[in-house]
Amino acid sequence: MIQTGAAREPRREPPTVSLVVLQTDAEQARLADEPAFDALLGQGWQGLIVDASESLKQGLETGLARARGQFVIYVTPDQVPTSALAQQVLDELCAHPDCDVMYFDEAPDAERPGFVKPAHSPERLRSQNYWGSFVAYKGDLLQLVVDQSLDFDGAEFYALALRASRRGSTIRKSLVQVPRALCVTDHARRHDNAAYRQGVRRALDEHFAETGGGFIDSVDDNGIHQTRRHVVGNPLVSVIVPTRGSSRSDRAGSRAMVLDAVEGIVKKTTYDRLEFVIVADDTTPDDVIADLRMTLGDRLSLVPWSREFSFSEKMNLGVVASRGEYLLFLNDDVDLISPDWVQAMLSLAQLPRAGTVGAMLYFDDDTVQHAGHAYSWSDVTHVGLHSDRGAEGPNGAFLVEREVDGNTAACMMIKRDRFFEAGGFSPILPGNFNDVDLCMKMNALGYVSYWTPRAELYHFESATRDPRVSAYEVDRTWGRWGNEFGRCGFWPTDPHVRYRKGN
């Protein structure tokens, strides 16, 4: 049979959705917007009103038992979506038939700015339920996560999100903007409720027990919780530092920056299994080399460098001379702030899918130099450059450990075998974008880059080298990765915004 044209893809039927309205007040008999609810029924949604006056757990379980839709969305009586929004949700679910969970951006309102959310970020989720409560769950997945005990004293939505993130589900962020009021339940608003905070702790305890362990330092009223992973074992970490022994002057005088950096690490760092691989230009002053030997003793591996500058080749050479299971690349123009910085980075580098791990770096004027990279087809940059130290960032992003598009090699940790798997730093990028290239190679291999605010250092960026970017470095980087930069989505807002402390 001769075909005269390409076969058309059959039109997908929109999925069915059950909207479960949780009646939290036994005396509240009416919906806030009955016409909107009736309109949804006319669009083919199943509408259910269930009693959740005794507990949120009761309402969730009753609603799921009665739901017939492929997807289930829970709301309270004042959160019924409009007909237009409901159609947008259906269109999104129809466009992504493989989706098990879909969460949505939040539109601004009179009191708060909007929340453009990142791509699915499981590590960020353990410190912040950025999904909110207006989430479309596939019914069979929801049944799996609800089959377990669901008693979290009002934190059930957080427990559901954490459980779904652990199931290996296909989780998508939708660009559809939902009013912020629809993304927060009455139960979740009660941050001053001690029982609610205990519910959050139980949800996080369960999550850590099933994902390799961790610690809960605090459950905070602002919905941003201080949690961290723990270090497994006591692996050797190789700190690899390129230097030419340059000095930096301040009020105290002039001294080689590499000496200040190394001495600060030795005095302050609380992790003891470190070796130092110093890749030193042959022009490095003899007294600097002597002081390094005195400070580091048998923990020092000194690697000579006699060729012209290439950050990539110097770091690769340092790796060859190192012995550590984990590599910590570090510029020589840094000053350590956080004593437990190695543990903070190492605990993330040990995660099963970890690629690179980055730190919070500040300029000497106490503004942000690095809080992760953001990549797009037109731009590669540090996020929040020159924001105030202590600023929260957009929706608390500077306060939580999270997934990022990439990290700067000025302070970067990576597991040794994964560095070799990616082919190390690319020699064709001797001065700039070599860290971007490495992070993109890790992404292409299926690994994820992480960033932690718990590792803080000052970084006197480019104090020891020419900071100019060559045109060929731009051409090579975008020639290799330009089409892939647009797929990155862990920093979906404008990365150039400066954030102020207290705002």
**What would the 3-class secondary structure string for 54-84 be?**
CCHHHHHHHHHHHCCCCEEEEECHHHCCCHH
Residues 182 and 294 in one domain: no
Instruction: Out of 78-87, 133-142, 388-397, 418-427, pick the least confident.
Output: 78-87
Instruction: Count structural domains, the chain.
Output: 2
Q: Which two tokens stand for residue 35?
A: 């016409």
> Which backbone phi and psi does 251 adopt, to 5 degrees?
-65, -25
Which residue, of 186, 218, 250, is where some domain finishes?
A: 218
As a whole number of angstroms, the distance between CA 235 and CA 326 comes to 7
Q: Which two tokens stand for residue 103?
A: 């969460």
CATH number for the domain harbouring residue 33: 3.90.550.10
406-431 burial, b at 16+ Cβ within 10 Å, e below that, comes to: bbbbbbbbbbbebbeebebbbeebbb
> Is a pLDDT exceeding 80 seen at residue 189?
no
Q: Which two tokens stand for residue 122?
A: 């499981």
DSSP H or E stretch at residue 429:
none
Residues in the chain: 503
Mean pLDDT across the chain, nearest whole number? 90
DSSP H or E stretch at residue 403:
strand 402-404
What pLDDT does residue 463 have? 44
Percent of the residues in the chain that have a pLDDT greater than 90, as a whole number: 72
DSSP H or E stretch at residue 278:
strand 274-281
Give the 3-state secondary structure of residue 455. strand
pLDDT band, very low/low/confident/very high, at 437 (cuts 50, 70, 90): very high
pLDDT in tens, 449-503: 999 999 999 999 754 455 577 888 999 999 999 999 988 899 999 999 999 998 6
Residue 502 lies in a domain: no
> Which amino acid is it at 270?
T
pLDDT band, very low/low/confident/very high, at 33 (cuts 50, 70, 90): low
What pLDDT does residue 329 have? 98
Instruction: Out of 44-58, 199-213, 432-446, pick the least confident.
Output: 44-58
Residues 213 and 139 in one domain: yes
Residues 154 and 300 in one domain: no
As a whole number of angstroms, the distance between CA 125 and CA 305 comes to 44
> Is a pLDDT exceeding 80 seen at residue 274?
yes
What pLDDT does residue 118 have? 95
What pLDDT does residue 2 have? 38
Residue 225 lies in a domain: no
Residue 145 lies in a domain: yes
User: Strand 135-138's sheet: what is its strand order?
Assistant: 46-51, 17-23, 71-75, 135-138, 101-107, 171-179
> Is a pLDDT exceeding 60 seen at residue 57?
yes
pLDDT in tens, 135-181: 999 999 999 888 778 889 889 999 999 999 999 889 999 989 998 87
Residues 411 and 274 in one domain: yes
Q: What is the DSSP letter of 182?
A: G
Instruction: Out of 101-110, 234-243, 467-476, pick the least confident.
Output: 467-476
Query: Helix, strand, coil % (nearest 5) of the chain?
Result: 35, 25, 40
pLDDT band, very low/low/confident/very high, at 7 (cuts 50, 70, 90): very low
pLDDT band, very low/low/confident/very high, at 26 (cuts 50, 70, 90): low
Burial status of residue 495 (CB atoms within 10 A of its CB: 0-12, 13-18, 19 or more): buried
Residue 444 lies in a domain: yes
As a whole number of angstroms, the distance between CA 223 and CA 106 comes to 16
What pLDDT does residue 4 have? 40
Q: Do 358 and 239 contact (CB within 8 A), yes or no?
A: no
What pLDDT does residue 32 have? 57
Pairing of strands 237-243, 326-330: parallel
Average pLDDT on 87-96 reads: 93
> Is a pLDDT exceeding 60 seen at residue 236?
yes
Residues 323 and 383 in one domain: yes
Residue 443 lies in a domain: yes
Q: Does 446 or 4 have the greater pLDDT score?
A: 446
pLDDT band, very low/low/confident/very high, at 416 (cuts 50, 70, 90): very high
Angle at 162 between CA 159 and CA 166, to 5 degrees: 135
pLDDT in tens, 345-380: 999 999 999 999 999 999 999 999 999 999 988 889
Residues 199 and 264 in one domain: no
Which range of residues forms the domain containing residue 192?
17-218
What pLDDT does residue 3 have? 40
What pLDDT does residue 6 have? 44
Contacts of 151 (CB under 8 A, 6+ apart): 55, 57
Q: Which two tokens stand for residue 445?
A: 């291999």
Residues 260 and 171 in one domain: no
pLDDT in tens, 295-341: 999 999 999 999 999 999 999 999 999 999 999 999 999 999 999 99
Beta strands in 229-363 (DSSP E): 237-243, 247-250, 253-256, 274-281, 300-305, 326-330, 334-336, 354-362
Residues 261 and 371 in one domain: yes
Residues 154 and 271 in one domain: no
> Is a pLDDT exceeding 80 seen at residue 80?
yes
Assign 3-class secondary structure to 98-115: CCCEEEEEEECCCCCCCE
Q: Does 425 or 49 have the greater pLDDT score?
A: 425
